[in-house]
Amino acid sequence: MISSAGPGSFGWIQSVRAVALVGICKNAGKTTLLNHLLVQRQQGVWGVFSTGIDGEEQDSVFRVPKPPVKLDPDTLFCCDTPTLDKLGSSVEVLEKFSPGSAPRQLWLARSLSPLQTEITGPGSVSMQISVLNRMRSLGARKVLIDGSLDRKSIAFSADVDAVAVLIGASFGPLTAIIGEIRRLELLNYLPTLAVKSQERAMLAGSAGILSRRNGRWSETGLGSLLGSEKALKRLLEEGLDAIYIPGALTDVVYDRIREALAASKAQMIFRHPECLKLSLNRLERCLEELRPRVLIPFRIRAWVLNSASVGARAIDTAEFRAKLRQAFPSLDLPDLMELAE
């Protein structure tokens, strides 16, 4: 059993129910971290699934070998029909899962012996949440999800309690990686909107931009910020209390409406920090001028380095670790290779 003490130990994982693993780039090492976390099960049933495909034999782009997902007995997982056929009597088939209009048939299964396998899951957030809830109803006290840094990912839903971010060297030069960590760190500490549960549910269920005046929320008729800059400027001039934005604020749109936003006294509320799709310098300016709040916080609990670079220029492992740890002394930044030692 892995000790829960020391850097990179992930002792906090015992106290959360759903954890999403996301990478800042492709081949960031999510499967390796997933296997490391699965070993830490102390008791009870755990579940695991992916928002794509995880554990395949080789990378689909660079054709390099990839590690399989390693499951101990009595682990719930999601797979497709070809994978289920390969596993045969080593699993118990629990039920067929219908992922909407997706062409692949998915299954929920339980491992009966140690397995090395491929896992998958549905593509839509709503179906991913359904898998999470179904695994819980089947007895999983904790579910690990191979997710993504995508605004439409389950990693950014209120159903996930914690997020682990993989910092892969494949992302690019060290300067770019440092900038991306800084961006995510800023987003992770955005303040959450203090609101009653009924109002929170109303906002979370809205697909369009809402405005609040004199304490009452109203629909604006705007589906997104893109293409609605002029209409939004007119709204901001009406003396609103707040504006709720469930979609993305990009660099292009921000540059067009920055002055209007800064001049307005309306509180800016975003559904999730990743709605702020801004480059680092614009993000810093936006946070300073607007002091936005979010409905759902990021909940990043762990940062893990992967000094191995796939499809990009190799980075010296010692230099990679040292420079990132020097740039972020307050963060615990274990390397995947250290976790495997």
- Is residue 3 in some structural domain? no
Residues 32 and 58 placed together within one structural domain of the fold: yes
Measured CA to CA, the distance from residue 150 to residue 129 in angstroms comes to: 15
- Is residue 310 in some structural domain? yes
Residues 120 and 43 placed together within one structural domain of the fold: yes
Residues 108 and 165 placed together within one structural domain of the fold: yes
- Is residue 138 in some structural domain? yes
List of residues 6+ apart from 205 with CB closer than 8 A? none
Q: What angle do CA 242, 248, 250 make, to 5 degrees?
A: 105
Measured CA to CA, the distance from residue 78 to residue 149 in angstroms comes to: 21
Residues 82 and 167 placed together within one structural domain of the fold: yes
Tell me the two tokens of residue 225. Answer: 């910020």
Residues 318 and 182 placed together within one structural domain of the fold: yes
Residues 116 and 203 placed together within one structural domain of the fold: no
- Is residue 4 in some structural domain? no
Measured CA to CA, the distance from residue 252 to residue 325 in angstroms comes to: 33
Count the domains in the chain.
2
- Closest alpha carbon to 69 in 109, 97, 104: 109
Measured CA to CA, the distance from residue 220 to residue 206 in angstroms comes to: 11
- Is residue 5 in some structural domain? no
pLDDT at 192: 95
Q: What is the pTM of this model?
A: 0.88
Helix (H, G, I), strand (E, B) or coil at 266: coil
- Is residue 1 in some structural domain? no
* Burial of residue 68 (number of CB atoms within 10 Å: 0-12, 13-18, 19+): middle
Tell me the two tokens of residue 229. Answer: 């800059």
> DSSP string spanning 304-336?
EEE---SSS----HHHHHHHHHHH-TTS---BH
Measured CA to CA, the distance from residue 35 to residue 135 in angstroms comes to: 19
Q: What angle do CA 206, 208, 209 make, to 5 degrees?
A: 105
Domain hosting 239: range is 197-294
Residues 154 and 271 placed together within one structural domain of the fold: no
* Domain stops at, among 275, 294, 313: 294
Residues 72 and 99 placed together within one structural domain of the fold: yes
pLDDT at 67: 86
Q: What angle do CA 306, 272, 175 make, to 5 degrees?
A: 35
Measured CA to CA, the distance from residue 117 to residue 78 in angstroms comes to: 11
Q: Is 294 in contact with 267 (CB distance < 8 Å)? A: no
Residues 104 and 151 placed together within one structural domain of the fold: yes
Residues 170 and 214 placed together within one structural domain of the fold: no
pLDDT at 65: 57
List of residues 6+ apart from 276 with CB closer than 8 A? 187, 249, 270, 283, 286, 292
List of residues 6+ apart from 340 with CB closer than 8 A? 32, 36
- Closest alpha carbon to 26 in 205, 221, 171: 171
- pLDDT tens for the chain, 341 residues long, are 233 334 456 888 889 999 999 999 988 999 999 999 999 888 899 999 998 865 445 444 444 557 899 999 999 999 999 999 999 999 999 999 876 655 678 999 999 999 999 999 998 899 999 999 999 999 999 999 998 887 667 998 999 999 999 999 989 999 999 999 999 999 999 999 998 999 999 999 999 999 999 989 999 999 999 889 999 999 888 889 999 999 999 999 999 999 999 999 899 999 999 999 999 999 999 999 999 999 999 999 999 999 887 755 667 889 999 999 999 999 999 998 887 65
CATH number at residue 45: 3.40.50
What is the distance of C-alpha 191 from the center of its chain? 18
- Is residue 6 in some structural domain? no
Residues 162 and 259 placed together within one structural domain of the fold: no
Residues 115 and 261 placed together within one structural domain of the fold: no
